[in-house]
Homo-oligomer: A and B are copies of this chain.
Amino acid sequence: MKELLYLKDDQLKDLIEKIFVGYRETFSDSKKILDKYSIGLAHQKVIHLLSMYEGISISKLLAKLKVTKQSLNRVLKDLIKLEIVVFKKDEIDTRIKHVYLNEKGKKIFEEIFLLQKKRIYNALLDSSSEEVINFDKVLKKIING
């Protein structure tokens, strides 16, 4: 096993560099839109998650972002000022707060996402379905490692 080319240090280093660059590029394409609304990368990530997980709770957002609640709170306050998020208390357990993007928020997300997804979309369009499936598989394994 160990003699496999891609398990050699040089290949691992190369992959790690690519993971970094891939992330950075994927999250920088939409910078102009973020600037337009005077928000940053942290806000983009929260908006992204809110669009994926409608009504997600604060604690689940924290778990996904892996930041402190103080840090998340700063971002949420900015999104409240922008008037793009709404909250609803859980009907059963009222300690839990569910977070949603409102219509304005969804529109801003679409603006961001339109630019951000292009890079991924084009990469996948230029790949076979097997390549895409394998990309996803390995990425999952990296995450769950």
In the bound assembly, the distance between CA atoms of A130 and B124 in angstroms comes to 17
* Residue pair B120, A22 in contact (C-beta under 8 Å): no
Segment of A7-15, A76-84, A88-96, A100-108 in the binding face: A7-15
A70 within 8 A of B: no
Question: Residue of B at shortest CB range from A14?
Answer: B52
How many residues of A are counted as interface, with CB atoms below 8 angstroms from the partner's CB atoms? 58
| A25 interface neighbour in B127, B133, B143, Cβ under 8 Å | B143
Instruction: Return A62 CB to nearest CB of chain B, in Å.
Output: 14
Chain A interface residues (CB < 8 Å from chain B): 1, 4, 6-7, 9-10, 12-27, 45, 48-49, 51-52, 64, 66, 113, 116-127, 129-143, 145
Question: Residue of B at shortest CB range from A136?
Answer: B15
* Residue pair A142, B117 in contact (C-beta under 8 Å): no
* Residue pair A123, B141 in contact (C-beta under 8 Å): yes
